[in-house]
Amino acid sequence: MLRHLIGALGACLIIGPAAAHVTLENRETPIGAGYKAVLRVPHGCEGTATTSIRVRIPEGVIRAKPMPKPGWTITTVTGKYAKTYELFHAKLSEGVTEIAWSGSKLPDAHYDEFVFQANLADDLQPGKNLYFPVVQECEKGVHRWIEIPAEGKGPGDYKGPAPGLKLLPKR
C-alpha cells in the first residue's frame, strides 16, 4: 500500500510541473494540413491574474488567424516569411508572425484557452518539432515559455519550455 502511495506521489511530482506550463492542446499534426492551435494557460504569475498572452508563430506555419475572445483585444504582427509558400493556388510571402491577446484578466485560480488557426507548409519535416514561444504577462511578473529544447532534450529539462508541436507525415 505504501509503495503504491509513493508511486502515485512520484507520478504527481513528474506530471505536476508539466501541467504548470502553457501548452498546446493538440501536440501533433500532419504537415500540409490546417491546424487549430489551442494554447492552454493554467495559472497566472506569482498568484496574480494573466493580463496578456503573446505567441510567436514559427516559420512554416502560414496564414495564422486568431480567434476572438470576449473581453480581450487581439493584435497581430505581420512580416515576411523566409520563403514564399504556395497554399490553395496562392503564393504567400508574408503573414502573421505574432499574435497577442490583452486587455482583460484571467485570475490565477482560473484556466483558459487562447486559439488560432493556421496551415502547416508542405515542406516541413515530419518527425521534427515546431515550437511556439509564448510570453505570459501578469499583474505581477512575467512567465516566458520560450525555451526550445536542444537535440536530445525534452520540455521537462527546462524551466520555461515553449509549447511544442510534433510534425507527422502528410496524409
Q: Quick: pLDDT tens for 12-22.
A: 333 334 447 89
Give the pLDDT of residue 123. Answer: 93
pLDDT category of residue 148 using cuts at 50, 70 and 90: very high
Give the pLDDT of residue 111. Answer: 95
- Rg over alpha carbons for the chain, rounded to the nearest Å, is 17
Give the pLDDT of residue 171. Answer: 87
- pLDDT of 145 > 80? The answer is yes
* Mean pLDDT within 110-134: 96
| Structure-block grid coordinates of residue 23 | 501548452
* Mean pLDDT within 108-112: 96
| Structure-block grid coordinates of residue 105 | 484578466
Euclidean distance between CA atoms 162 and 131, whole angstroms: 6
Pairing of the two strands 164-168 and 28-30: parallel
Give which of 103, 91, 42, 25 is closest to 63, Cα–Cα: 91
Please state which of the ranges 4-13, 75-84, 145-154, 161-170 shows the lowest mean pLDDT: 4-13
Give which of 128, 131, 129 is closest to 161, Cα–Cα: 131
Whether the pTM exceeds 0.85: the reply is yes
Euclidean distance between CA atoms 4 and 56, whole angstroms: 42
Give the pLDDT of residue 135. Answer: 98
Give the pLDDT of residue 10. Answer: 41
**Enclosing H/E stretch for 9:** helix 2-19
